[in-house]
Structure 1
Amino acid sequence: MDIDDLIKKIQPYFSELKAEDFMSSPVVTIREDQKASEAKELLRTRRISGLPVADKEGKLKGIISIEDIIHALENNMLDSDISELMTKNVVCVTKNEKIMDVFKKFEMYGYGRFPVVDENKKVIGIVTKYDLMIALLVKLSILYVHDTRREQFVGVEIYRSIPKNVKIVREEFEFQIDYRDISMAGTGASELKKFLISKNFPPKFVKRIAIATYEAETNVVIHSNSTGRIKAYIEPEFVEVRVNDNGKGIENIELAMKEGFSTAPDYVREYGFGAGMGLTNMKKCADRMIILSSKGNGVLVEMHFWRHEDEN
């Protein structure tokens, strides 16, 4: 199933979603009186393939793409104003357009992105197929993406849906999980909790992250028969936690997600683990959870946490 098939299959269930609900915002724009060389640098540093062009009031005037920059390079026009190179008759999306109408535009025009405008034609965001797809999957509360298909479906683009203009996150914390001593399960989660508190994250927010991380760490110890690793990446309003191992993997994620399902052996249950609630608790605590696994290829659990108003 490709991305278009996936979107078609699930988007009718979320027909109430509007463009403003899943667009990337704020959006990088450029003015029509700036030079093509400036657009080229923005496209390069932001690793994007197109930029909305706006006037001083922020109203949409056009769009400039990598193809336009290539044309400028070929014709020695990098010193030209963007107004000379941009596409002026831009197909855009209004903030109140429903998700099914936005998807129809992708099908009709074949573009990779659309600027989103308000009632005054001011650019307030941009929407790609990935934004649309991630919005739908987030509504389902968990992303099931397997093996190498992760790069196709999420990859770097997943960060385009993070609110409040969060920057691409950087690694801040790492802990090696030793599966050989079950009594040590949870040590990494405890260390992460101490680390986040030292970074002045609020206690209620940290507690939610620690619970989810504890469950993921315990799963590595109980099920993987392999060492694992916890990594955390932080920003002021956002924390991402990745817990991975190189063990036997999960053969059926959907089954593993059911409350009470467990493959833990009896000796593990004697320690009080293996009740089959680990993945369920992780899902409840995380704002977004991605599980990547297949039989024999280990497990990667990626959890995203945003600070809620009642956690400040």
Structure 2
Amino acid sequence: MESVDDLIRKIQPYFSELSVGDLMSSPVVTVREDQRINEAKELLRTRRISGLPVIDDGGRLKGIISIEDIIHALENNMLNSNVSEIMTKNVVCLTKDEKIMDAFKKFEMYGYGRFPVVDENKNVIGIVTKYDLMIALLAKLSVLYVHDARREQFVGVEIYRSIPKNVKIVREEFEFQIDYKDISMAGTGASELKKFLISKNFPPKFVKRVAIATYEAETNVVIHSNSTGRIKAYIEPEFVEVRVNDNGKGIENIDLAMKEGFSTAPDYVREYGFGAGMGLANMKRCADRMVILSSKGNGVFVEMHFWRHEDEN
């Protein structure tokens, strides 16, 4: 599978009009230079991020602190020291008016995972990661569909669950092979996943959402791909990621396929009660984030993310 860098490199020239301000995350989780390193460590842990801009009392950028710096502090028994003692002081920054292509060149040149975005007074106004860069480009290509309220609630949190993985997390897994040859078996994988999630004590409302979306994705493989496929799920206490892929005919026009009621299912499939043209729309409606990667003749890859909502507990 291609790396994030490879993917961005291939498609970013087509979107030269995008600027850093169009994709940066703001406001930003920061730490003051006079705070203790232990406080920065807790921020990194609780927010699940790997770096923090360091600011002064006026909000001006003074440095950046990373997990590597925290490890160094642990090794040298410095957790009660000020952040200013271990932070990187010569920070490479972006401005909101810089073009996306310039940002990508800096990612390539320096190898960093993120860049603070500052204004003319060096005040931190945002942050850009490779993840943000990829999301912006894919969104422009109309292959990413997001309605992720949780990211909005935790502004500044970098969620490294993308394609491909930037962070390896040990999680329980579920896997099911889809047989496209027997249409009467469509939905078997979704049913097995439902049983699996129930056995892991996920609440019924949450499980229902995951099962519906997975059923629609599985059915699409059976109806449209003319190929075997696979369902794979990864679970954590508050989160489930489901991937469904096949090596079949692919989707020629994702925008059109996303429209409710649009269907290319043949008549014999409709006789079984499938092919109403609501599959992708229902998947998008149920998932908190959905990514579709496909092209004609190259199969379909669907990744869906589900978070437990308060009303589902």
* TM-score class normalised by the smaller sequence: 0.5 to 0.7
Aligned: 1:241 with 2:248: no
| Residues 1:263 and 1:210: Cα distance change in structure 2 (over 3 Å) | same
| Residues 1:132 and 1:103: Cα distance change in structure 2 (over 3 Å) | farther
Match of 2:269 in 1: 268
| Residues 1:33 and 1:194: Cα distance change in structure 2 (over 3 Å) | closer
Match of 1:291 in 2: 292
* Higher deviation after alignment, 279-288 or 134-143: 134-143
Normalising by structure 1, we get a TM-score of 0.63
| Residues 1:207 and 1:292: Cα distance change in structure 2 (over 3 Å) | same
1:247 positional shift: 1.3
Measured in 2, the distance between the counterparts of 1:211 and 1:278 equals 9
Measured in 2, the distance between the counterparts of 1:51 and 1:296 equals 43
| Residues 1:258 and 1:245: Cα distance change in structure 2 (over 3 Å) | same
| Residues 1:253 and 1:168: Cα distance change in structure 2 (over 3 Å) | same
CA contact (8 A) 1:138 1:288 kept: no
Match of 2:180 in 1: 179
Q: 2:26 aligns with which of 2, 19, 22?
A: 19
Aligned: 1:188 with 2:192: no
CA contact (8 A) 1:32 1:53 kept: no
Any gaps of 5 or more consecutive residues in structure 1?
Answer: 35-45, 69-77, 94-100, 145-156
CA contact (8 A) 1:208 1:286 kept: yes
Aligned: 1:305 with 2:309: no
| Residues 1:160 and 1:182: Cα distance change in structure 2 (over 3 Å) | closer
Q: Which amino acid aligns with 2:209?
A: R
Q: Which amino acid aligns with 1:172?
A: E
Match of 1:221 in 2: 222
Q: Which amino acid aligns with 2:174?
A: F
| Secondary structure class of the residue paired with 2:198 | helix
| Secondary structure class of the residue paired with 2:181 | coil
| Secondary structure class of the residue paired with 2:284 | helix
Match of 1:38 in 2: none
1:87 positional shift: 4.0
| Residues 1:295 and 1:135: Cα distance change in structure 2 (over 3 Å) | closer
| Secondary structure class of the residue paired with 2:273 | coil
1:54 positional shift: 8.9
Normalising by structure 2, we get a TM-score of 0.63
Q: Deviations over 1:52-109 (max 9, x none)?
A: 5799xxx9753378xx9xxxxxxxxx99x9978864254679xxxxxxx646497589
Q: Which amino acid aligns with 1:257?
A: M
Measured in 2, the distance between the counterparts of 1:4 and 1:26 equals 32
Over aligned residues, Cα RMSD in angstroms? 4.9
* Higher deviation after alignment, 221-230 or 3-12: 3-12
1:136 positional shift: 8.6
1:127 positional shift: 3.6
Q: Deviations over 1:255-302 (max 9, x none)?
A: 211211111111110000011111111111111111111222211111
| Secondary structure class of the residue paired with 1:189 | helix
Q: Which amino acid aligns with 1:304?
A: H
| Secondary structure class of the residue paired with 1:63 | strand
Q: Which amino acid aligns with 2:257?
A: A
| Secondary structure class of the residue paired with 2:160 | helix
Q: Which amino acid aligns with 2:262?
A: F
| Residues 1:160 and 1:221: Cα distance change in structure 2 (over 3 Å) | closer
Q: Which amino acid aligns with 1:19?
A: S
Aligned: 1:206 with 2:207: yes
Match of 1:279 in 2: 280
| Number of aligned positions between the proteins | 257
Q: Deviations over 1:91-146 (max 9, x none)?
A: 679xxxxxxx64649758946523589xxx9x9x95425326537977999607xx
Any gaps of 5 or more consecutive residues in structure 2?
Answer: 1-9, 39-47, 70-74, 146-157
Measured in 1, the distance between the counterparts of 2:296 and 2:256 equals 13
